[in-house]
Amino acid sequence: MKNPHYNPAKAHHRPGGFQNNHISFRGKRWHEILRWRWEAWRARVPGPVQTPIPVVPPDLAFVHGNATAGLHMVPAATWIGHITVLVQIGGVNILTDPVFSERCFPVQWAGPQRHTPPGMTMTQLPHIDVVLLSHNHYDHLDEGSMRALARQPGGAPLVICPLAHRKWLNRWGLHRVVELDWWDHHVIEASDRHHRIPVVLTPAQHWSARTATDALCSLWGGFAVLSPDCHLFFAGDTGYSPDFVAIRRHFAREHAPQHGGGFDLALLPIGAYEPRWFMKDQHCNPEEAVQIFQDLGCKRALAVHWGTFQLTDEALDEPPRALARALRAASIAPDRFRAVAVGQTWQLPRRP
């Protein structure tokens, strides 16, 4: 398959698709998949949940009041579940990788099933202005959720995504689509027209595939959103790599102390990481997530990508315990990197 975006001057471009900066991803061989499943069966993993995943009713009064507050909006993040977060900054309502379906699979009668309900239903959401889409895996790019957003009252959201996602989005009724390459940016004009919010697609160490024949044909990545009241980083899916040191270096001027310091909030994945020999190149574990937090120089982080779908061998409730151990080992206060309840809103101080 030919890559219509191919640019030979860019190291992560290939004639047939894309690649990581620091390792070349290859799909797992059949014998590796069999080894994974055999070892999991012998070890009887994943184990049962010891601590129920915390779920709280959403603060709808705050969320909806905040959604229409314009420049008086309080910077806030509400964890919907898995990778989906409602971020309210700069007078804009942003949704990351919307996944509200019961299963993350090509069909809804098979595949990994939700263990926790979404923290807000789609009908409880405020009007979503922008969707940040990190890549095309089924637990991130969910057709049912995207079709519902295309039909939301007040009009479909703007979708900002990596290269080569437009075809799916257009098919599902989403036509306000901006595709970015790594380090490209798009500027969101807030509804009051008084300020503009740059969004930058950043590198991640992962891969893409929607079918058996399109591996690496679309790009993947994370996002930096530089709103005046909150600088947000959304990692998407990623293994640990030197990319995060490069991201900190890239935004060094914007994050100088006189300009308010580093990212005010990072959404960092902490789940779907065992066994390490199989998952390490594509998913970070909690210890590596803490290293990413340090590499980026973040002020705060919200743990995502855990507690919803049983995708790998660690127990569904294990990532927050491992995160707590990693934070203690790194002497980082636990209130700086939080694993909140599904449905919980974290209100943030405004960026100085």
Task: Write the pLDDT tens digit of every residue in 66-91.
Answer: 999 998 999 999 999 999 999 999 99
- The per-residue pLDDT for 124 is 98
Is residue 199 a contact partner of residue 224, using CB atoms and an 8 Å limit? yes
Distance between CA atoms of residues 227 and 90, nearest Å: 6
Instruction: Give the model's pLDDT for residue 285.
Output: 98
In a domain, 52, yes or no: no
What is the rounded CA–CA span in Å between residue 43 and residue 208?
A: 29
Mean pLDDT of the chain: 95
Kindly state whether residue 265 falls inside one of the protein's structural domains. yes
Residue-wise pLDDT tens digits, 126-161:
999 999 999 999 999 999 999 999 999 999 999 999
pLDDT in tens, 233-245: 999 999 999 999 9
Indicate whether 50 belongs to any domain: no
User: Does residue 25 lie within any of the structural domains?
Assistant: no
- Asked whether the CA dihedral 246, 247, 249, 250 is positive or negative, the reply is positive
The domain that contains 302 carries what CATH number?
3.60.15.10
Q: What is the DSSP string of 181-226?
A: -TT-EEEEEPTTSS-EEEEEEE--S----SSTT-TTSS---EEEEE
pLDDT tens-digit map of 261-308: 999 999 999 999 999 999 999 999 999 999 999 999 999 999 999 999
- Give the sign of the dihedral formed by CA 99, CA 320, CA 86, CA 66: positive
User: Is residue 5 one of the residues assigned to a domain?
Assistant: no
What is the percent of the chain with per-residue pLDDT over 70, rounded to a whole number?
A: 99
Mean pLDDT of 243-252: 98
Q: What is the total count of domains within the chain?
A: 1
- Residue-range definition of the domain harbouring residue 217: 57-347
6, part of any domain: no
Name which of 223, 215, 328, 329 is nearest 282 in CA terms: 215
pLDDT tens digits, residue range 207-224? 999 998 999 999 999 999
Q: In this structure, are residues 261 and 299 in contact, taking their beta carbons and an 8 Å threshold?
A: yes
Q: What is the pLDDT of residue 193?
A: 59
Q: With bands split at pLDDT 50, 70 and 90, how would you rate the model's confidence at 194?
A: low
Confidence of residue 191 (pLDDT cuts 50, 70, 90): low
With 90 as the cut, is the pLDDT of residue 190 above it? no
Whether 80 is in a domain gets the answer yes
The pLDDT assigned to 29 comes to 84
pTM beyond 0.95, yes or no: yes
Q: How confident is the model at residue 39 (pLDDT cuts 50, 70, 90)?
A: confident
User: Which of residues 345 and 32 earns the better pLDDT score?
Assistant: 345
Say if 224 falls within a structural domain: yes
Please report, rounded to a whole number, the percentage of residues in the chain having pLDDT higher than 90.
88
